[in-house]
């Protein structure tokens, strides 16, 4: 007998974890718009509009700006395997889980990887990169702008200078920064940047925005070997996104609708206002947490990622019990720690539509209840004061 599963009706959640983030109602409505064919002239116009909007949020004039079909991990793999050939030397900066993943992907694809390591909760330093580049003639230097596992915002300007003086390309993971924090691809000399739709951009997961500078495109076109993956070959993807409009794969029709709508919201808000909103809400959250006696995992305020805050699990608290209680009693999701922070830190995302004052105050109240924190009123007052400072 066939089991009856009933109508789809997920329990509403407030997503304040590391992703996916909360989605604006108008973006959800865009997802339900009727399908077009992936080569329909109307759909191609929507692709062009999305491409223009992506250039704005990446802060670039790069022609090769497109979406890799897949999540942010597809973006990571596409960016890397298009940037080098098997046997090439590359330098990868590692200060968290996603730097480690870049090492994993690059080694599987045959790169000779030189690591530059920094302690979790800290940033990679320019002199570390400079030292690595004195020992190897690297084609690419890869680094994470917003390390989702640690909550560190990586400074890029000086590292970019070091990389280009060495004649290498700079490849940057912007998965948890694009749309919430300045990425400034052109101003910072970033040659290859990738992201995901499900974080600060405020769309569902399934597309990975990718942009490549003229220098990166030139290096790609000079390859002696084909990219190991047809599906993730930037040249093949560009043939679909560029003037040729050649078939590559069936387009993610409804997800492009959603991304375009999310990018329109960003355009309407304005980048500077959006960046300021993310920063202000994070500062209020941290003020509230600290007033309650909770400690951010990133000690240096200048390195705290506005879209994602890591906070150490307080002594005596049960990590899983608190996160489970948030879901069961309040319908709020936050993330647990990854890697070295597993069981030791919580990851709180205030990204895109979810970066709101009401969410900050609700989360502080809920945490105060579950932790039986007697200073929750102080935390709420400190958060409130941060909005009027």
Q: Do 14 and 22 form a contact (C-beta atoms < 8 A)?
A: yes
Q: Is the pLDDT of residue 2 over 80?
A: no
Share of the chain above pLDDT 70, in %: 99
pLDDT in tens, 287-296: 999 999 999 9
Q: Is the pLDDT of residue 116 over 60?
A: yes
pLDDT score, position 1:
55
pLDDT score, position 257:
98
Query: Is pTM beyond 0.75 here?
Result: yes
Radius of gyration of the chain (CA): 21
Q: Given pLDDT bands bounded at 50, 70 and 90, which one contains residue 3? A: confident
Q: Do 313 and 346 form a contact (C-beta atoms < 8 A)?
A: yes
25-267 — its CATH code?
3.40.640.10
Find the DSSP H helices in the chain: 25-31, 41-58, 72-83, 97-108, 126-135, 157-165, 214-221, 234-241, 253-269, 271-291, 319-325, 357-370, 376-388
| Total residues belonging to the chain | 389
Positions of CATH 3.90.1150.10 in the chain:
271-388
Q: Do 175 and 305 form a contact (C-beta atoms < 8 A)?
A: no
Q: Given pLDDT bands bounded at 50, 70 and 90, which one contains residue 73? A: very high
Q: Given pLDDT bands bounded at 50, 70 and 90, which one contains residue 4? A: confident
pLDDT score, position 5:
87
Q: Given pLDDT bands bounded at 50, 70 and 90, which one contains residue 87? A: very high
Positions of CATH 3.40.640.10 in the chain:
25-267
Residue range 271-388 forms a domain whose CATH class is alpha beta
Query: What is the distance between the alpha carbons of residues 223 and 75, in angstroms, rounded to a whole number?
Result: 20
Q: Given pLDDT bands bounded at 50, 70 and 90, which one contains residue 297? A: very high
Mean pLDDT over each residue of the chain, to the nearest integer: 97
pLDDT in tens, 136-154: 999 999 999 999 999 999 9
Q: What is the DSSP string of 312-345?
A: EPPTT--HHHHHHHIIIII-EE-EEP-GGGTTTE
Q: Given pLDDT bands bounded at 50, 70 and 90, which one contains residue 94? A: very high
């Amino acid at each position: 007998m066939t089991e009856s599963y009933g109508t789809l009706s997920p329990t509403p959640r407030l997503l304040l974890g590391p992703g996916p983030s909360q989605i604006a109602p108008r973006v959800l409505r865009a997802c339900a718009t009727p399908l077009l064919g992936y080569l329909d002239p109307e759909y191609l116009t929507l692709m062009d509009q999305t491409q223009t909007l992506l250039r704005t949020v990446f802060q670039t004039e790069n022609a090769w700006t497109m979406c890799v079909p897949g999540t942010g991990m597809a973006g990571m793999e596409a960016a890397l395997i298009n940037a080098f050939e098997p046997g090439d030397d590359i330098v990868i900066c590692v200060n968290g889980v996603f730097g480690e993943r870049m090492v994993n992907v690059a080694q599987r694809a045959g790169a000779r990887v030189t690591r530059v390591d920094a302690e979790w909760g800290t940033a990679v330093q320019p002199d570390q990169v400079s030292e690595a580049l004195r020992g190897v003639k690297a084609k690419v230097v890869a680094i994470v702008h917003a390390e989702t596992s640690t909550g560190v915002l990586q400074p890029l300007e000086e590292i970019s200078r070091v990389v280009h003086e060495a004649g290498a390309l700079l490849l940057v993971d912007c998965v948890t920064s694009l749309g919430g924090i300045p990425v400034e691809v052109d101003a910072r000399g970033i040659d290859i940047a990738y992201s995901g739709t499900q974080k600060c951009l405020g769309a569902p997961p399934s597309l990975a925005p990718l942009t490549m500078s003229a220098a990166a495109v030139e290096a790609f076109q000079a390859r002696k070997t084909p990219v190991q993956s047809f599906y993730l070959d930037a040249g093949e993807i560009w043939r679909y996104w560029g003037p040729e409009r050649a078939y590559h794969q069936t387009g993610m029709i409804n997800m492009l609708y959603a991304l375009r709508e999310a990018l329109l919201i960003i355009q309407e808000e304005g980048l500077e206002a959006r960046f300021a909103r993310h920063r202000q809400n994070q500062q209020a959250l941290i003020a509230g947490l600290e007033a309650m006696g909770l400690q951010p995992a990133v000690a240096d305020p200048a390195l705290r990622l506005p879209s994602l805050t890591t906070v150490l699990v307080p002594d005596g608290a049960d990590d899983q019990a608190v996160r489970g209680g948030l879901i069961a009693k309040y319908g709020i999701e936050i993330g647990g720690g990854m890697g070295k922070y597993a069981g030791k830190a919580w990851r709180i995302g205030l990204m895109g539509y979810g970066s709101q004052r009401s969410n900050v105050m609700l989360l502080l109240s809920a945490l105060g209840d579950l932790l039986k924190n007697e200073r929750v009123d102080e935390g709420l007052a400190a958060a409130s004061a941060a909005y009027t400072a």
